[in-house]
Amino acid sequence: MISKSFMTAALLAWVVGLALGSAALSEEAKAETPKAAGPAAAAPAPATPPVGAPAAGVPASLPPPAAVAPPAAAPKAAAAGVKADAKEAVPLTPEEETWAATIKRATTAFQKGDLATAEAEFAAAAKLAESLPPKGDRLLASLVNLAMVRVAEKKYAEAVEPAKRVVELREKASGPDDLFLAGALNDLAGVYKDGGRLDEAEPIYKRALAIVQKKTGPQSAQAGVLLANLAELYRDQKKWPEAEQAAKQSLEDFEKSLGGRNFEVAGALQRLGTIYIAEGKSAEAVAAQQRALEVARKAMGWNRPVMMEYYAALADAYQADGKPADAETHYLQAIKLSQEGLGSNNLVAASVLERYAGLLRQMKREEEAGRMEDQARQIRITLGAPVPASAPPGPQTPAAAPVK
């Protein structure tokens, strides 16, 4: 759920964003970079949520430590192409201007979806930053964004090197017990996890968790995020008792630090419910997903498109608990929200249609199931997404009418 999408994983968002803190982009670079999605800004999220990932849930990246303020806005002098200085404005060197221009080109390419160009430009920026003082500011930003783009390209093996370098720079600058280091470790573990290197990810997540718990206390939002990521990791490893324990602790941390009506609490409940289903604890799954839906309604409003996955998750739990009528009601509500809010052509809608089709086949309603599968297949084809191998071949006809 979390780092599979790596937005989420999510595209190294904590390090890319506020977590850069004192090692954020230098003031002149901020002035040269578009505000909407520059390297020092949060990573842009994909336009369409990933298949099977909840629209809700906890970000894979740690939130910034409460004691750390975001970087100050660039002064006017920087916007004019000079360095910010307490005493006087110093013009940028040609090398610094080249680096800032390279970052700007990379950011523009990323915004346009040209990932190959973005990767090449961020790699060039990292190489330039190696020779620019102070090395940490520009080099961190360049490496973080290089890793981010490679994750977006699903080049997980290639993303490891810059993510590891960020960890090394963080540890060298701040020591072995720094919250910023914990964020970098979290992101490196996410790269390993998304690349299928689960055994390598686990000790890194645990090290990050130990740092956070030492610095923030045994229960905090930051610890909740890391425990959520560990729960997902254990789920992928099919270590169900460990997954359940981590998911429960994550939920407790969020409830204590954020309150009971928070979006992250809803996501933690949803995560726990999916683990219960895998363990065969269907009644517990229903209870968790019912509460997740209730919390999400209070936190976001019932008609938000993001609610689609909460309804679908509860439908999954009802189906597992042998209550097909309740499952169908909630699948249909999820599909309705998709059509009213997100539109029919999104991958989350395709996933819900496929899950609903599975229920219909269990209920021996083969013709209706086929229509749902046809709609899901057409969405995937339209978006250029893979069609699941389990989906039967569809007829050579136009897409079926949307479900009513």
Q: How confident is the model at residue 62 (pLDDT cuts 50, 70, 90)?
A: low
Instruction: Say if residues 233 and 245 touch (Cβ distance below 8 Å).
Output: no
Do the domains 298-404 and 13-81+92-258 match in fold?
yes
Distance CA 380, CA 373 (A): 11
Name the percent of the chain lying above pLDDT 90.
61
- pTM of the full structure: 0.75
Per-residue pLDDT tens digits for 113-150: 999 999 999 999 999 999 887 767 899 999 999 999 99
Give the tokens for residue 258.
């954020």
* 162 pLDDT higher than 70: yes
Arithmetic mean of pLDDT, 71-92: 47
Torsion, Cα of 117, 122, 124, 125 (10° steps): 140
CATH number of 298-404: 1.25.40.10
For residue range 250-260, list pLDDT tens digits in order: 999 999 999 98
* Tokens, residue 114: 């040209």
210 contact partners, CB below 8 Å, separation of at least 6: none
CA distance 39 to 59: 19
35 in Cβ contact with 107 (< 8 Å)? no
The arithmetic mean of pLDDT across residues 22-39, rounded, is 30
Asked if pLDDT for residue 167 goes beyond 90, the answer is yes
**Domain assignments of the chain as residue spans, ordered by start:** 13-81+92-258, 298-404
Q: Would you identify the CATH topology of the domain 13-81+92-258?
A: 1.25.40
Position 98 scores a pLDDT of 95
- Supply the angle between the helices 221-236 and 263-279 in degrees, to the nearest 10: 20
Query: What is the model's pLDDT at position 46?
Result: 28
**Which SS3 state, helix, strand or coil, does residue 82 take?**
strand
